[in-house]
Amino acid sequence: MPGTKKQYAIAAAAGGAAAVFAIFVALAQTNAIAVPYFTPVALQVDGLKEKYAAGENASFAVTANGYGSNCHSLEVEATHNDNGERASYYNKEDDCRFMTITHGKYNFTQSFDYGSKVMGKAGMYTVDIKFKDLVDNKEARVTKTFEVK
């Protein structure tokens, strides 16, 4: 039994709406447009070089980009690749119970300075960075490596 013109029009409209919604979500995921619910969190690491001289200080900053709540956690761990030994560790987690939760664009940057305790031993290092929005459950993770000679 062939469909009526009305059924074909409804099916075409539904298909068109689905296509437009898919494009909308794809643009939000690439941060081409700002849509808080569909925009993922992204981490940016600035200032971390690939090679350092032994004893040289390493300074870098971690910035969270995207949209979410003001309650989050950040964990940064540097390990020496040769022996797996932890060279440094940072962990900060907000206690959401005692803060007024707001939503909007992330306004979060944390700076790090690695001195001779980390940079005094030659070898390859891995820095693992984890950010989590504790209200919206959005997560991002970045791994960087550098060498100390």
Looking up residue 75, the CATH number of its domain turns out to be 2.60.40.2550
Rounded Cα–Cα distance for residues 145 and 109 (Å): 20
Judgement on whether residues 34 and 54 belong to the same structural domain of the protein: no
Low-confidence ranges of the chain (pLDDT < 50): none
How far is the first Cα of the chain from the last one, in angstroms, to the nearest whole number? 77
Dihedral (C-alpha) 93, 95, 100, 106: value to the nearest 10 degrees? 10
- The residue type of 77 is E
List, in order, residues 6 or more apart from 105 with CB less than 8 Å away. Answer: 34, 66, 67
| pLDDT for residue 54 | 87
Supply angle C-alpha 93, 44, 129, rounded to 5.
45
Judgement on whether residues 23 and 58 belong to the same structural domain of the protein: no
Judgement on whether residues 35 and 57 belong to the same structural domain of the protein: no
| pLDDT for residue 32 | 60
**Phi then psi for 53, rounded to 5 degrees?**
-85, 150
Q: How many domains does the chain have?
A: 2
| pLDDT for residue 36 | 60
| pLDDT for residue 34 | 57
Judgement on whether residues 84 and 25 belong to the same structural domain of the protein: no
Residue span of the structural domain in which 104 resides: 41-148
